[in-house]
Structure formats: structure tokens, C-alpha cells
Structure 1
Amino acid sequence: MSCRSEHIWLELITGSRKFSNFCWALIIFLGSLGFLLVGISSYLGRNLIAFVPSQQIVFFPQGLVMSFYGIAGLFISYYLWCTICWNVGSGYNRFDRKEGLMCIFRWGFPGKNRRIFLRFFLKDIQSVRIEVKEGLYARRVLYMGIRSGEAIPLTPTDENLTSREIEQKAAELAYFLRVPIEVF
């Protein structure tokens, strides 16, 4: 989502609170909980899950391995739920022609560097860059080329924009900032 006026361009960036992340966190949690319960059931010798006959599973090595996978899955699920709660990666890109500033803000993981805030002068922006990698895992990312040689990503790497959408976005931003477009 972006808001534009004559002098200001504000683009909101969604972070970890996406439907797909909720689905993956829930699927991993339920699957790992199932693995852990089957492993515990095989150790106790009675069914904790009614529709899974765990008496046929010997605790050593199958039940032990299933318990390990269940515990590992719970840790991964906990990590995903934490990133969703903290909304890691969310923020905004703000371009202000009136003040001549570009501000990029993102939320990170808790700690002393939770807030990621970058500020640049618009006169230091060299170009708007598009990186396109086609193939099985296609990737299209929009970057801001700075005079110091850095390339700052403006779009999340997991955002699946079509070639037409990324080109349109780059063209509009380059026109707003009055800089050229580079394609990699």
C-alpha cells in the first residue's frame, strides 16, 4: 500500500503478519504436537491420540526420533509465532521531495537494534534498480542505488510481484524521484 502526494511518497511494508505465515505456523505446530504425542504414547505404552495406534511403535528408536522431531517442530513453530507477534520486517519507505529526505524504517527482532531506521538525502540517490531472477524460484526485488555504491532493498524479497508490477512500481518511483532505472 502506498500514499502519494505532490511532494511525499509513503509506502507501507507488510512484515511477518501474512496469511501464509499464520498457516505455516499452525501446520508446523499441529504436526510437531502430533509427533511429540505419538513419541510420548510409545514411551508410556498407551494411546494419547485416539486415531493413532502408538502401541505398534517401539519407543527406541522410532518413538525417540518422533519425540525429537516433535520438540524440534515446536521450537520452529514458536519462532514463527514470535516473528508474527513482533511483526518482523514491517515498516515503511518515505520519500519527501520537499525536505529532500528518504527514510526507510523496519521492525526487527527485539533487542537494542529492534528499530531499523535509515535516512538518506534524495540527492544521494543514484538510481532505482530492479533485480530479476527467473526460474523455479523467481525473484524480483526493487533496490535504491546510493552514490556510495550501496543497494538498499525497498521491497521484501518474498513479495511475489510480476514483472509488469515491479516495472510499474520502479517507473513510478523513478519518475517521482527523477532518477534513472537500472536492471540487473
Structure 2
Amino acid sequence: MQSEIRQDRIVGSRRFSNYFWVISLFFGGFGFLLAGLSSYSKINFLPFTNPIELVFIPQGLVMLFYGALSLSTSIYIFLTVILDIGSGYNEYNKMENLVKIVRKGFPGKNREILLTYSLTNIRSIGIKITEGLNPTRSIYLCLKDERKIPLTPVQEPISISRLEQEAASLAKFLDLKLENL
């Protein structure tokens, strides 16, 4: 029975890079905000520098803007980490003849995202590798109606050999062909 069902876990927002950005943006934004407030009030809120010497318009105002922008971005990323947006699993069930793709979304009516596809509607497993400034390495479920459903999460690119190994393993499990997109 267990050899008929395969489930691959998908990591969502709870990654090291997101924790790093939350901390960096929070402290950087807080520093910029304090520098802008110091410029406005002429009271030094930062012990390691002297932002009182900044002219409030335009420098202090820009510091306030960048500080508020950075803090709000860090709060947004923090909330996506807390809610674990994008996490879930892919389930390949030969007994039910189904592929289920389950992900967590933002709170609301459609918090749980569930996509189901019949194995008879799947043409192949596809691999797409793009190099350059924004490299991507992804595995796709290629349907007979020419749709391509991504199976891998948005993340830092994994090695090509590992990607090929995972795709080949999945294609072998589902008894499908493997193609390059």
C-alpha cells in the first residue's frame, strides 16, 4: 500500500534566508527611522552616530521614509514566516489515480490551496533550467492540455544533478516520460 503513495513535503516561507531578511530589515529600518527622528527633533536617539547634523528636509525625511519602508517590509516577511505561506506537500496516489498539490496561502476564504489532477491527464514530468541573473531550476507536471504545473517551491536553485535525480525518481514512480522544457 505504501509503495502506491508518495508524498513530497514542500518548505514554505520558513527558510533561513527569510529569517535573515527579517532581522536585517528590522534593525536597518529601525536605525534609519531613529536617524530621521533625530534629525527632526534635534535629540540624538543613536549613540554611535550624530544624525542631529542632518537637515530634516530632504535628508531626515528620506531617512524616515526608508526606515518606515524597511520596517513594514520586515513585518510583511515576518508574517509570511509565521503563517508559513507556500508550505504544503505534493501527493502522488496510484491507488486513487490522483496527484494532489496542497499549499498554504494567505489567511481568508482560500487559505488552503488544493489542486488535484488525474494521472490519466498527465503527459510527462518536465524539467526547466534557466541560468543567468535569476536562475531557476524547477520540476513541472506537464498535462495533456499543455498546462505546466510547478511542483518545486520557489527557493534558491538546487544542484542540477539533484534536480534531475528527483525528477527521474518521480517519473519512474508515476511511470511517465521525462522531458526538458
TM-score range, shorter chain: over 0.9
Q: Name the TM-score, length of structure 1 as normaliser.
A: 0.95
8 Å CA contact 1:106, 1:116 repeated in 2: yes
Task: Name stretches of at least 5 consecutive residues in structure 1 with no aligned partner.
Answer: none
- Residue deviations 1:133-165 (CA, integer Å, cap 9, x gap): 022332110000112221110001324211101
Q: 1:42 Cα deviation (Å)?
A: 0.8
Q: Which runs of 4+ in 1 moved over 6 A?
A: none
Matched pairs, number: 181
Which residue, out of 66, 70, 73, partners 2:70? 73
Equivalent positions of 1:90-169 (< 5 A) are: 90-169=87-166
- Residue deviations 1:36-61 (CA, integer Å, cap 9, x gap): 00000111101111111112111111
Q: Name the aligned partner's letter for residue 67 of structure 1.
A: L
Task: Give me the whole-angstrom Cα distance separating, in 2, the residues matched to 1:121 and 1:61.
Answer: 60
Could you tell me which residue of structure 2 aligns to residue 24 of structure 1?
A: 21
**Helix, strand or coil at the partner of 1:12:** strand
**Helix, strand or coil at the partner of 1:6:** helix
Which residue, out of 31, 40, 48, partners 1:51? 48
Task: Give me the whole-angstrom Cα distance separating, in 2, the residues matched to 1:35 and 1:159.
Answer: 29
Equivalent positions of 1:35-46 (< 5 A) are: 35-46=32-43
Q: Name the aligned partner's letter for residue 92 of structure 2.
A: F
8 Å CA contact 1:140, 1:157 repeated in 2: no
Query: Which stretch of structure 1 is more off in the superposition, 120-129 or 134-143?
Result: 134-143
Task: Give me the whole-angstrom Cα distance separating, in 2, the residues matched to 1:176 and 1:68.
Answer: 53
Over aligned residues, Cα RMSD in angstroms?
1.2
Distance 1:140 1:52, change over 3 A: same
Task: Give me the whole-angstrom Cα distance separating, in 2, the residues matched to 1:158 and 1:115.
Answer: 20
Q: 1:5 Cα deviation (Å)?
A: 3.8
Query: Which stretch of structure 1 is more off in the superposition, 10-19 or 145-154?
Result: 145-154
- Identical amino acids, percent of aligned pairs: 43
